[in-house]
Amino acid sequence: MKILVCISKTPDTTAKIAFTDNNTKFSEAGVQFIINPYDEWYALVRALELKESLGATVHLVTVGGADTEPVIRKALALGGDEAFRINADSQDSYYIASQIAAHARQQGYDLVFTGKETIDYNGSAIGGMVAELLELPFVSIAAKFELNGTTATINREIEGGEEIVQVELPVVVSCQKGMAEARIPNMRGIMAARTKPLTVVEPVAVEPLTSIVSFELPPAKAGVKMISPDNVEELVKLLHEEAKVI
Amino acid sequence: MSVLIFADQFQGKIKKAAFEAVQYGAKVAQQAGTTATAIVLGEADNAELAALGNYGAQKVLQVADARLNEIDSSVGAKVIVAAAEAENAQVIILSHNFDGRAIAPRVAARLQAGLVTGAISLPDTANGFTVKKTVFSGKAFANVNITSARKVITVMPNTFPLEKTDATATVEAFQAPVSDADFKVKATSVETVSGEIPLTEAETIVSGGRGLKGPENWGLVEDLAKALGAATACSRPVADSGWRPHHEHVGQTGLTVRPNLYIAIGISGAIQHLAGVNGSKVIVVINKDPEAPFFKAADYGIVGDAFEVVPRLTEAVKKLQ
Ligand SMILES: Cc1cc2nc3c(=O)[nH]c(=O)nc-3n(C[C@H](O)[C@H](O)[C@H](O)COP(=O)(O)OP(=O)(O)OC[C@H]3O[C@@H](n4cnc5c(N)ncnc54)[C@H](O)[C@@H]3O)c2cc1C
Ligand SMILES: Nc1ncnc2c1ncn2[C@@H]1O[C@H](COP(=O)(O)O)[C@@H](O)[C@H]1O
């Protein structure tokens, strides 16, 4: 079995969000980059568990410049077997998905895992697009994935509940919490990652369909109104009369 | 030309998020001087379908096919694309809810249409077709221009308050071009958390953190929630410790919620928690530590012991009603 895990690079969850160039670019100054948490904790680790229990090969793919290599190496250190970096700026969801689909078409995978969404762009789009481009079934926002032969049983979140679905491989799945427990790379993994293959692939020609014109920061809060713990009636009154939310 | 909106149903009931998407789509149609058509997949009763007119749909297409009651994203996208062709829709709107997030990217890729997910503004057509969305988990917004002729937008739930009118829609049957072989993903069971309000649709949320010390104390949160008609949520360590079910976890790695009122009890306000709740209109923080970072993101705050403050607050809320 061959599994592809889509890995994206995102700013650390505590990074300060600021913009430069007239609010058209994210300011990377002083920002630490990590593997997008959904990709690492859930998609990658579940793929590694399947590898350990069923003997799969786990490939990683990222669309990005050379600056994404530390993140890809970390994913290799966690246990990925082989990585592919598609050498292009990630322009928009359609562009990225087209690159991943082109790679997947060439390699042929039984299973493609993505994260639920990137924590910077918050697209929730790549997985579904890759599935459509590959004409494969897609199960979104999965919290559990079990495999029995070539039949996958997947729990997927819906409004106010959960749906359990069955699908035959190959399939594309976007992963969230519940899929697996986060791991940390060990020394042996880190050493091994240095010599694992990381192939740089040139992108296919695709036109992006959207572009970011500008960024904005939310308006600052007016400041918190403090209320005495002995006067909760005041809070109820404010919520009712001033904020009008109860 | 027209605007097509996917109006999501669950067990025959149109979701609140779907009404919001229809209302958004109707406004986009109005901007463009065209009409709004909603499409409903699966069985739903006629009164539900006609109610879509209350939010601006002129026409409702229904595919009353029991196989579509649960969503297979691939079939859903196929039907929506067929309807978009039939209606000559240039703009296709879905909710940024679970089904919308599964289907929209497929529709967009199939039509080679630019996609903006989680829209929080109507399109600005003064100079292109620019839609505002949240990025960096609510810590910023991006204005995204869709450059393709066709456009797909998913609308952030709980962002556009519903304005109900008396207008009604005409309901037409739509013949979906699907065969049994198209259904690859089969739902074997659907579990709902019965009696509770889905967090993503809740207008009021009471949320508890580690400050509540243990699951045995959750009656405090539940009583206040009950008095307010609110849903309950929690911070990540609370769900990780098994004090509360996972689906209640909000934040960076959990659900993103946008209620009118979010009451945080015994939650410190870590940046990853705020990422899931910073879209709330009003935030109330109850914490015994005056230095808790959450106060910086709050509108109203009480420094005090949750075990004393919350029961009193619950009583005061009950008195109001
Ligand atoms: C990559 C990453 C992703 C994460 N994602 C999430 C996420 O999605 N959601 C999330 O919530 N967290 C997330 N976290 C964890 C986050 O960083 C915090 O650790 C977590 O939110 C803290 O939860 P808490 O506020 O309940 O607990 P604590 O930080 O322990 O805070 C407890 C609070 O309760 C107060 N308190 C104690 N006793 C009382 C009392 N009697 N009355 C009133 N107040 C009291 C304390 O003063 C304190 O402020 C993530 C972390 C990382 C690294
Ligand atoms: N540049 C990228 N390279 C590889 N995979 C990506 C990239 N961007 C996003 N993904 C994958 O697609 C998922 C969803 O991303 P998004 O649709 O941008 O929210 C992520 O969790 C990743 O698994």
Could you report the per-residue pLDDT of A28-38, keeping only the tens digit for each? 999 999 999 99
Cβ–Cβ gap A228/B302 under 8 Å: yes
Q: Which atom from ligand 2 is nearest to the alpha carbon of A115? A: 21
List CB contacts (< 8 A) between B74 and chain A: 131-132, 137-138
User: Would B239 be classed as within a structural domain?
Assistant: yes
Which-ligand-closest: CA of A40?
A: 2
Contact A215, A24 (CB under 8 A): yes
Ligand 2 pocket test: pick from A3, A6, A111, A130 the residue with the most ligand atoms within 8 Å of its Cβ: A6
A121 phi/psi in degrees, rounded to 5: -85, -25
Whether B157 and B108 map to the same domain: the answer is yes
User: Would B189 be classed as within a structural domain?
Assistant: no
> Does any ligand 1 atom lie closer than 6 A to the CB of residue B307?
yes
Whether B137 and B221 map to the same domain: the answer is no
Contact B91, B4 (CB under 8 A): yes
Nearest to B153 by CA among A217, A210, A95: A210
pTM, to two decimals:
0.95
Nearest to A97 by CA among A76, A121, A74: A121
> Does any ligand 1 atom lie closer than 6 A to the CB of residue B272?
yes
User: Would B63 be classed as within a structural domain?
Assistant: yes
pLDDT in tens, A185-201: 899 999 999 999 999 99
pLDDT in tens, B72-89: 999 999 999 999 999 999
According to the annotation, is B120 in a ligand binding site? no
Question: What percent of chain B has pLDDT above 70?
Answer: 99
Which CATH number fits the domain that encloses residue B63? 3.40.50.620
Taking each continuous run of H as one helix and of E as one strand, the counts in chain A are 7, 15
Predicted confidence at residue B227, as pLDDT, reads 97
pLDDT in tens, B87-121: 999 999 999 999 999 999 999 999 999 999 999 99
pLDDT in tens, A135-160: 999 999 999 999 999 999 999 988 87
Smallest Cα distance from B55 to chain A, Å: 21
User: Would B245 be classed as within a structural domain?
Assistant: yes
The average pLDDT across B48-66 equals 95
Instruction: Count CB-CB contacts under 10 A for residue A212.
Output: 18
Atom 6 of ligand 1, nearest CA residue: B272
Q: How many domains does chain B have?
A: 2
Predicted confidence at residue B195, as pLDDT, reads 64
The CA distance from A213 to A221, in Å, is 25
Mean pLDDT score of chain B? 95
Whether B28 and B163 map to the same domain: the answer is yes
Cβ–Cβ gap B73/A128 under 8 Å: yes
Structure tokens that stand for A115 in this block = 């994260």
Cβ–Cβ gap B98/A217 under 8 Å: no
Predicted confidence at residue A148, as pLDDT, reads 96
Whether B106 and B214 map to the same domain: the answer is no
Whether B44 and B89 map to the same domain: the answer is yes
Cβ–Cβ gap B105/A93 under 8 Å: yes
Chain centroid offset of residue A87 CA: 18
Would you tell me which residues 144-183 of chain B have a C-beta closer than 8 angstroms to some C-beta of chain A?
144-148
Q: What is the CA radius of gyration of chain A?
A: 21
Whether B158 and B298 map to the same domain: the answer is no
A29 phi/psi in degrees, rounded to 5: -60, 125
The CA distance from A205 to A227, in Å, is 59
3-state secondary structure of A85: strand
User: Would B194 be classed as within a structural domain?
Assistant: no
Task: Give the pairing type, strands A151-158 and A138-148.
Answer: antiparallel
Chain B touched by A220 (CB under 8 Å)? no
> Does any ligand 1 atom lie closer than 6 A to the CB of residue B270?
yes
Predicted confidence at residue B58, as pLDDT, reads 97
A230 phi/psi in degrees, rounded to 5: -90, 0
The CA distance from B27 to B32, in Å, is 9
Predicted confidence at residue B194, as pLDDT, reads 62
Question: Which domains does chain A carry?
Answer: 2-218 (3.40.50.620)
- Going B231 to B232 to B233 to B239, the CA torsion angle's sign is negative
The CA distance from A188 to A194, in Å, is 10
Cβ–Cβ gap B249/A153 under 8 Å: no
Whether B243 and B316 map to the same domain: the answer is yes
Structure tokens that stand for A59 in this block = 């490939």
Which-ligand-closest: CA of A9?
A: 2
Whether B12 and B83 map to the same domain: the answer is yes
Of B157, B182, B207, the one marking the end of a domain is B182
What residue of B is the nearest CA neighbor of A234? B316
Which CATH number fits the domain that encloses residue B230? 3.40.50.1220
Atom 14 of ligand 1, nearest CA residue: B272
Whether B147 and B38 map to the same domain: the answer is yes
Cβ–Cβ gap B246/A238 under 8 Å: no
Smallest Cα distance from A233 to chain B, Å: 6
Chain position carrying tokens 């459509």: A132
User: Would B211 be classed as within a structural domain?
Assistant: yes
What residue of A is the nearest CA neighbor of B195? A160
Predicted confidence at residue B11, as pLDDT, reads 87
Of B182, B216, B238, the one marking the end of a domain is B182
Smallest Cα distance from A226 to chain B, Å: 5
Which-ligand-closest: CA of B276?
A: 1
pLDDT band of B246, cuts 50, 70, 90: confident
Predicted confidence at residue B22, as pLDDT, reads 98
Atom 31 of ligand 1, nearest CA residue: B268
Residue B55 or B193, more confident: B55
From A156, A178, A224, residue closest to B300, measured CB to CB: A224
Q: Which atom from ligand 2 is nearest to the alpha carbon of A61? A: 4
Mean pLDDT score of chain A? 96
Instruction: Look at residue B193 and tell me whether its pLDDT is greater than 80.
Output: no
Predicted confidence at residue B243, as pLDDT, reads 97
ipTM: 0.95
Whether B59 and B167 map to the same domain: the answer is yes
**How far is the centre of ligand 1, averaged over its atoms, from the C-alpha of B42 (Å)?**
41
The CA distance from B146 to B121, in Å, is 14
Domain encompassing residue B114: 2-182
Whether B70 and B164 map to the same domain: the answer is yes
The CA distance from A235 to A239, in Å, is 6
Whether B28 and B112 map to the same domain: the answer is yes
pLDDT in tens, A38-96: 999 999 999 999 999 999 999 999 999 999 999 999 999 999 999 999 999 988 999 99
Instruction: Look at residue A221 and tell me whether its pLDDT is greater than 90.
Output: no
User: Would B190 be classed as within a structural domain?
Assistant: no
User: Would B191 be classed as within a structural domain?
Assistant: no
According to the annotation, is B249 in a ligand binding site? no
Pocket of ligand 2 (CB under 6 A): A 6-8, 36, 38-39, 43, 61-64, 90, 93, 96, 114-115, 117-118, 121-127
The CA distance from B204 to B263, in Å, is 8
3-state secondary structure of B156: coil
